[in-house]
Amino acid sequence: MAKFQNILLTGINGQVGYELQLSLASLGKVHALDRSQLDLSNPDNIRQVVQSIKPDLIVNPAAYTAVDKAEVEPDLANAINAIAPQILAEEAAKLGAAMVHYSTDYVYDGTKPTPYMETDVTNPLSVYGKTKLAGEAAIRAAALPHLILRTSWVYGARGKNFMNTILRLASERESLGIVADQFGAPTSSRVIAEATVSALASWTKDKSGTYHLTCGCVTSWHGFAQAIIEEYELLRELRHWPVLKASVENIFPITTADYPTPAARPANSKLNCDKLSSTFGLVLPEWRVALKQVMAEHLFKG
Ligand SMILES: NC(=O)c1ccc[n+]([C@@H]2O[C@H](COP(=O)([O-])OP(=O)(O)OC[C@H]3O[C@@H](n4cnc5c(N)ncnc54)[C@H](OP(=O)(O)O)[C@@H]3O)[C@@H](O)[C@H]2O)c1
């Protein structure tokens, strides 16, 4: 028997939303909504859609994720990342529904030398991080059964993400300088979706709370970029993918100061995931293993 009757899923054209649309089907009927069917910047639209679907579970991977652009669009980022989750949670609470929501390593300032625990003090450095933190708080305040899953460095075979950007740039340029002093765990959208479904399968209301959910081990953006090129090269001939202009040796380390961005990023994005494994028995694959799986699905678009 399905665990849920009606699952309302937002943001189905996003990286995580796309994967969730496929994997959540094992738990119940999924009402998969894109922006045209549910506009999270429109509070009336949110209320009306939730009231008409009457979900017993809302899963909300949709977000304003343009980290740098958020610095100049704080109101829109706040509407989508803070106010929309608040309304979703309030409407879900009225229906007695539960909610799964995604958050980010960017709620931390990255000054801690060791991996962050869920209980550590948050101190976002950017508008994006602040609005995501406000969204978390709104869900807790609505006092409904919930899971807030903080993940990091999301990428997948499809979508606008670091992996696809590196492959594009490496096809255009002979060398790349990539930030080597920010550390975190690249986490694939497929891994996030599958872990969400596994957690929900054994989920009960008493397991409500905030959890870190990332792939295992850590690297820098520079290390991730090198690994992307290496994995690409392993499959290139077999898949008849084009030769890249940049080789692994020509991916050079640079510092954050060398690559200034409008939004500040935490230097340490490492998240301790022990709570997820002790509560749900879930241990996610190491990031490099997940990268191999994602690269195997990659369709070169140049
Ligand atoms: N990306 C990362 O590196 C990262 C890291 C840590 C945490 N997270 C969190 O993980 C979750 C999933 O991220 P992701 O990488 O899958 O994001 P994504 O690929 O950028 O997708 C975000 C989705 O949100 C939708 N959306 C944006 N504004 C909307 C609106 N007004 N109404 C309805 N939908 C709207 C987008 O719709 P359109 O397709 O129409 O644009 C898109 O489908 C988010 O909560 C994010 O904050 C992401």
Angle between helix axes 287-296 and 162-172 (nearest 10 degrees) is 60
| Ligand 1 atom index nearest CA of 105 | 6
Please give the Cα distance from 28 to 31 (Å, whole number). 10
Asked if residue 11 has its Cβ within 6 Å of ligand 1, the reply is yes
Is the shortest distance between the CB of 65 and ligand 1 below 6 Å?
Answer: yes
> Which atom of ligand 1 is least distant from the CA of 40?
32
CA 114 to chain centre: 21
Pocket of ligand 1 contains residue 77 by CB under 6 Å:
no
In the structure, what pLDDT confidence band is assigned to residue 301 with cuts at 50, 70 and 90? low
Calculate how far, in angstroms, residue 81's C-alpha sits from the geometric centre of ligand 1. Answer: 9
- How large is the average pLDDT for residues 174-193? 97
Report the pLDDT averaged over residues 138-147: 97
Q: Give the residue with greater pLDDT, 297 vs 154.
A: 154
- Mean pLDDT computed over 44-66: 98
- What is the predicted pLDDT for the residue at 159? 84
Q: 253 CB under 6 A from ligand 1?
A: no
Give the pLDDT of residue 9. Answer: 98
Which of 10, 19, 35, 273 maximizes ligand 1 atoms within 8 Å of its Cβ, making it the mutation to test the pocket? 35
Q: Is the CB of 63 under 6 A from ligand 1?
A: yes
> What's the pTM value of the predicted model, to 2 decimals?
0.96
Do the bridges between strand 251-254 and strand 176-179 make them parallel or antiparallel, or are there none, so unpaired? parallel
Phi-psi region of 255 (alpha: psi -120 to 50; beta: other; left: phi over 0): beta
Question: Would you say residue 197 has pLDDT above 70?
Answer: yes
What letter does residue 209 receive in the DSSP assignment? E
**Nearest CA owner, ligand 1 atom 12:** 61
Regarding the beta carbon of 132 and ligand 1, being less than 6 Å apart is answered yes
User: How far is ligand 1, taken at its centre, from the CA of residue 129, in Å?
Assistant: 13
Q: Are 190 and 223 in contact (CB under 8 A)?
A: no
Q: Chain centroid to CA 40: how far?
A: 17
- Cβ atoms within 10 Å, residue 24: 22
First to last CA, the chain: 44
One-letter amino acid at 134 equals A
Statement: residue 74 has pLDDT above 60: yes
154, 163, 211, 221, best to mutate for ligand 1 pocket (most atoms within 8 Å of CB): 154
Strands 183-184 and 219-220: antiparallel
Amino acid identity, position 209: G
- The token pair at 18 is 């796309």
Does 16 contact ligand 1 (Cβ within 6 A)?
A: yes
Average pLDDT over residues 47-59: 97
CA of 234 to the centre of ligand 1 (A): 30
Q: What is the whole-number distance in angstroms between the Cα of residue 142 and the centre of ligand 1?
A: 22
Strands (E), the chain: 6-9, 29-32, 57-60, 98-104, 146-151, 154-155, 176-179, 183-184, 187-188, 209-212, 219-220, 251-254
Predicted local confidence at residue 302, as pLDDT: 46
Instruction: Write the pLDDT tens digit of every residue in 225-267.
Output: 999 999 999 999 888 999 999 999 999 999 999 999 999 999 9
146-164: average pLDDT: 95
Under 8 Å between Cβ of 208 and 230? no
Q: What average pLDDT does range 79-101 have in this prediction?
A: 98
Mean pLDDT confidence for 268-294: 97
Is 21 a pocket residue for ligand 1 (Cβ < 6 Å)? no
pLDDT digits (tens, 9 = 90+) for 207-226: 999 999 999 999 999 999 99
Averaged pLDDT score across all residues of the chain: 96
Residues tagged active-site: 128
Q: Nearest residue CA, atom 48 of ligand 1? A: 154
